[in-house]
Amino acid sequence: MMALMDEQPQHSNTLPLPPNEEEAPLVLVAHASVGSGHKLAAQAIAQAFEDLKGTCGIPENAQVELVDILDFGRVRFNGDRWAHLFTGVTRPWYDFVWRYLFTGRFLWGGGWSWARIMFPKYTEFIRQKKPVAVICTHITAANATVGARMITEQDFPLVCVPTDYETEGWWPHRAADLFCVGTESMAETLRPRKVEEERIAITGIPTRLAFSETYDRQSVREKYHLPQNKTVVLALAGSTMASPYVLFRDALDQMIPYMHTMPQVHLLFCVGTDEDYRRHLERQIEDLRLTNVSVIEYTEDMAALMSSCDAVVCKAGGLVTTEALCTQTPMILLGRAYGQEYMNVRMLTSHGAAMHVTTGRELLEVFRQLQSNPKHMEALVMNESLLRKPDAAKQIAISTMDLALGRKPMDKATRKHYFAHFYFGHKPAHTR
């Protein structure tokens, strides 16, 4: 085990006192606004806490606060704008960093470097709030929390919730008290990294409660003016930023002119808040005189809409694919995948829970299969059920509170301060 700039602080001999039972225990759920997935997962966990108050070991007076770690940065930047680095010309470099950095035997364990250098405001926030637990859905939040806990010498559990179907090497492996992961395969990644079994929970990736509810298919289709007797395919092609969807939309554009040859298939585009793309699609539909293609903007009823469709075309993001799993909607993953999306594609297709295409021509062939044999998607739904965990957010909330209320005071070894902590693990379970 190695440490850089190892620091030995002076501690008192008294252990931290448990919080006053009359005080409302505070749980922080920290995310980073880089894309929407991390925030949506954090919102799902916060919602689960609120719904479970007074049950399942969660106190009636428990408080939950949602925080964006980027709001506390020494240098403020827009995470959504930086997300284009993951999809533009820098994709190969990002892919290399995500899939190969700290995935072998030399591993990242945690430290207070990020807290001192980038997030002193967050450290002060933790000092004042004194949470009973912190749940993090992004590595930046997790690493800043590790540092804040070291510097403030508080004793609360850190729960890490990766929002994709593999665990990135930059998570603070040795400093985390619990990893809540999506699949057994993810647990197999953590074990060689010396994350003990009691620090791993296979909960699934958290989604909002709406995605675990049932909906009346006929009424939802009526609401969105969708045909009742056709195969309806939902294309999720919108976001706050257009750059991640450039290639995705190009592939769809290649296929749209052929929709007139598939009268039994209806293609519904959801474009989010992108007005330019909506107008682009509407011009195409009008010019081509298509009656089986329609467009909607952002909707709060995505869970109901997704559950009423026969298939969904989407990028291979961790949250959107998990939402499709929860609504039991067959997935067609479109586009070349990099970094975490590559791992999502590999996991979902290896389980037979999704189809993956990279070009408009391949997508067209899949649509033709849907028209000739709509029951082809039934096999995907059956395989999805093996991965489906709609109660993930609730399980994470319960596990976190159990850990917070039953936690033993940190020992001297755990209290040790590291600027940057690296260690050696065992042979990786999966090669990337």
Q: Summarize pLDDT for 70-127 with one digit per residue, the tens.
A: 999 987 766 556 655 555 667 777 777 787 888 889 999 999 998 999 999 999 999 9
pLDDT score for 78: 62
Residue with structure tokens 């800043």? 144
Average of pLDDT values for 250-278?
94
Per-residue pLDDT at 358 exceeds 90? yes
Distance (Å, rounded) from C-alpha 306 to C-alpha 330? 10
Average pLDDT rounded to a whole number, residues 402-431: 81
Cα atoms found within 13 Å of the Cα of residue 147, Cβ hemisphere only: 26
Indicate the SS3 state at residue 265: strand
Above pLDDT 70, what percent of the chain? 89
Sequence letter at residue 340: Q
Question: DSSP letter at 27?
Answer: E
Percent of residues, the chain, with pLDDT higher than 90: 75
Lowest mean pLDDT among 232-241, 278-287, 390-399: 232-241
Q: Collapsing DSSP states into helix, strand and coil, what is residue 380?
A: helix
- Where residue 261 falls (left for φ over 0; alpha for ψ -120 to 50; beta otherwise) is alpha
pLDDT > 70? residue 25:
yes
209-232 confidence digits (pLDDT tens): 999 999 999 999 999 999 999 999
Question: Strand, coil or helix: what is 3?
Answer: strand
Q: Are 313 and 234 in contact (CB under 8 A)?
A: yes
Tokens representing 189 are: 């990644």
Whether residue 377 has pLDDT greater than 90: no
